[in-house]
Amino acid sequence: MSRFAYYADFVLMPAMILVLLVLGSPTLAGVLFGAAAWTLAEYAAHRVLFHRPPLFKAAHDEHHARPCGRTGVSSLHSFAIFVGLALLLPADVLAGFALGYLAYITAHHAVHHWRIGPRHPLYGLKLRHAMHHHGVEANFGVVTTLWDRVFGTYLPRR
């Protein structure tokens, strides 16, 4: 995808989160709930939508094949989804959900594009995610291993 479609989320999401937190009279509980809900949505989307034909599998297969390319979900699509969610969710829950998404795209970008050595805090994630990329139907979570552990798809790094 284009450079814009890949990177726009890294600008749009912080801007949207800021607007939601400033204008939405947020509660901490609402933000935390939204962030926790993101982790389950991330796991479910990756395991169910991205790994099963035919919905998003082709695009996700491209990411598996070229993890260091600008592959994945376009910022235009993700932003459209967040605009849709704005009609359904309270502002603070949506801000937490978007914070979780921002953590996800940042960590996922980092493991594929940054030099991460054994002493880096993301090293464990990098190894677990690399196992996922090498054809193991496990380690779907990026932000947390919680749901992989709950649903029996967690494989410790090797």
**Contacts with Zn ion, residue ranges (CB under 5 A):** 67
By beta-carbon proximity to Zn ion, the closer residue of 73 and 94 is 73
- How far are the Cα atoms of 20, 65, 93, 111, 147 from residue 11, in angstroms, in the given order? 15, 26, 20, 19, 28
By beta-carbon proximity to Zn ion, the closer residue of 24 and 67 is 67
Report yes or no: 58 and 124 within 8 Å, Cβ to Cβ: no
Residue number of the CB atom closest to Zn ion: 67
By beta-carbon proximity to Zn ion, the closer residue of 47 and 96 is 47
Q: At its nearest, how many Å lie between Zn ion and the CB of residue 1?
A: 14
Q: CA nearest 127: which of 155, 94, 92, 149?
A: 155
CA distance 22 to 150: 35
- How far are the Cα atoms of 24, 34, 93, 142 from residue 30, in angstroms, in the given order? 11, 6, 5, 22
Q: At its nearest, how many Å lie between Zn ion and the CB of residue 102?
A: 16
Q: At its nearest, how many Å lie between Zn ion and the CB of residue 14?
A: 22
Q: At its nearest, how many Å lie between Zn ion and the CB of residue 63?
A: 6
By beta-carbon proximity to Zn ion, the closer residue of 29 and 48 is 48
